[in-house]
Structure 1
């Protein structure tokens, strides 16, 4: 099979031929990959490997959609998910290969109406947003999610169930993770009977999309214009809200 391998000492990747896997470990699926999704971390961990320079080549890549060949799910099932290809020093292979293995409880069945190409772009961004919204902020999940054990990563000053109206400001509202976050925040609070006011920062070219029913932003600012910080403070009455920042950069407004 063809696979994209990370060369740790050279900090690059190349396509090569590898033996095709024919079995998967217990509780894992053997999958035939149909589509992959590109994420900034894929390039990040290629040019800045986390593994020691002496590490052998490894398959990189995160997001994928694939068809089940064998394992706990029926053969032919279309699934999607992501692997931690080169995201740590462990030797586990990533998703950028024609055939891969994945833990069966870490993939999701692709529903009708969602193409394999669309599904390949969901998992990493969607889970990143969900981790922040439900796990770190404590927003009530609109599904049967019950945290296991003590959550030591929950941020101070987050949701405690005492407010009837919550203001959430999303910096980077038109980014992939930002758009997932807006939907999850709204769905979670609406299911709990709490009114949420969404305020976002994005270029004006994206405002029409962001004000639509899927995202439903109440207020938007253009981060390139003067005075947008004061506008946000006014809408949040100087505080009492949360800020979700989905753009990592050295310079930013506070």
Structure 2
């Protein structure tokens, strides 16, 4: 079976096509023929060694595909069902076939394609947590969304807009500004041209925003804190630019803010919570016309190129590998 393996930590060049042992479904498992694999920033952290993993390994957590075999004791799933997961166990998702625990997959409803499912599930689950748990949004609030033209950013902007939240997005280029506005951002700041915290102050009349959603980390951290209103919420859910520095909260000069660092596995820990959140994400597509922006499809063998494009911010929307 073809797969992408990491034998040493490093840059995108360490992602190499290889032959891997063909998996077999055991009791409680399903074997899935992979149709599409979602690429996520977490995989670049593991590849670089920031989040170390035992070597060698196959990267990837998110995929959609067709059930090819069902293990003993599995009910509710049959050969031929289209399923998706955001929780692929070791060895990983960058492969032609994977074995998954049956209780960690979500059945994909009619009207949602394999590519859409692979592109939306992990980031959609993240958006569900961000808007329902990290900071339960309310109509009339204002949110600052960093990387508003990224995979999560485009979904988050649409969901916030549907809840009646004013969205201020940050992007780096004109093309990404256009994408963020198309997703529903009310205001877009090109952080390459202006100081975004100063611009947020201007756009909010000096009040600040109710919530900041930040997946960038080091380079945006101080400005994100400065952009909050008193009693606002800072949601740090990624660190694409590096780890955030320590912050001194002892003086009270930060305006009684709240800081939270959600970790998705904690919010889909049980099969019931995974199914409930997964169904909500797919309902956004079917009922609320959520647009899933697929930026580019790459052959499985080009996984290194795909991760490099993601890290260099050369993309808009979600990137997928296709075996």
- Equivalent residue for 1:7? 7
- Equivalent residue for 2:128? 130
Q: 1:45 to 1:113 in 2, by over 3 A?
A: same
1:79 equivalent among 80, 83, 86: 83
2:202 equivalent among 211, 228, 234: 234
Length, aligned pairs only: 214
Q: Distance in 2 between matches of 1:164 and 1:10?
A: 44
- Equivalent residue for 2:93? 95
Mapped contact 2:24–2:99 kept (Cα < 8 A) = no
Q: Distance in 1 between matches of 2:35 and 2:44?
A: 21
Mapped contact 2:43–2:60 kept (Cα < 8 A) = yes
What RMSD, in angstroms, separates the aligned Cα atoms of the two structures? 2.9
- Equivalent residue for 1:217? 185
- What CA deviation, in whole Å up to 9, does each residue of 1:110-159 have, x standing for no partner? 344443233322222222232222221133xxxxxxxxxxxxxxxxxxxx
DSSP-derived class of the 1:128 partner: helix
- Alignment gaps of 5+ in structure 2: 224-323
Q: Distance in 2 between matches of 1:207 and 1:251?
A: 18
Higher alpha-carbon deviation: 96-105 or 174-183: 96-105
* Bigger RCO (CA 8 Å, 6+ sep): 2
Q: 1:19 to 1:220 in 2, by over 3 A?
A: closer
2:143 equivalent among 156, 160, 168: 168
Q: Distance in 2 between matches of 1:205 and 1:10?
A: 30
Q: Distance in 1 between matches of 2:119 and 2:59?
A: 16
Higher alpha-carbon deviation: 74-83 or 114-123: 114-123
Using the size of structure 1 for normalisation, the TM-score is 0.70
Mapped contact 2:144–2:209 kept (Cα < 8 A) = no
- Equivalent residue for 1:157? none
Using the size of structure 2 for normalisation, the TM-score is 0.57
- Equivalent residue for 1:38? 39
The structure richer in helix per residue is 2
Q: 1:95 to 1:25 in 2, by over 3 A?
A: farther
Instruction: Indicate yes or no: 2:157 matched with 1:198.
Output: no
Higher alpha-carbon deviation: 232-241 or 11-20: 11-20
DSSP-derived class of the 2:179 partner: helix
- Equivalent residue for 2:63? 64
Q: Distance in 2 between matches of 1:16 and 1:37?
A: 19
Q: Distance in 2 between matches of 1:18 and 1:245?
A: 37
Q: Distance in 2 between matches of 1:10 and 1:221?
A: 33
Q: Distance in 2 between matches of 1:14 and 1:164?
A: 47
Q: Distance in 1 between matches of 2:166 and 2:81?
A: 39
Mapped contact 2:4–2:15 kept (Cα < 8 A) = yes
Higher alpha-carbon deviation: 36-45 or 243-252: 243-252
Q: Distance in 2 between matches of 1:2 and 1:171?
A: 36
Shift of 1:50: 4.3
Mapped contact 1:2–1:16 kept (Cα < 8 A) = yes
Q: 1:25 to 1:47 in 2, by over 3 A?
A: farther
Q: 1:131 to 1:35 in 2, by over 3 A?
A: same
Q: Distance in 2 between matches of 1:180 and 1:251?
A: 20
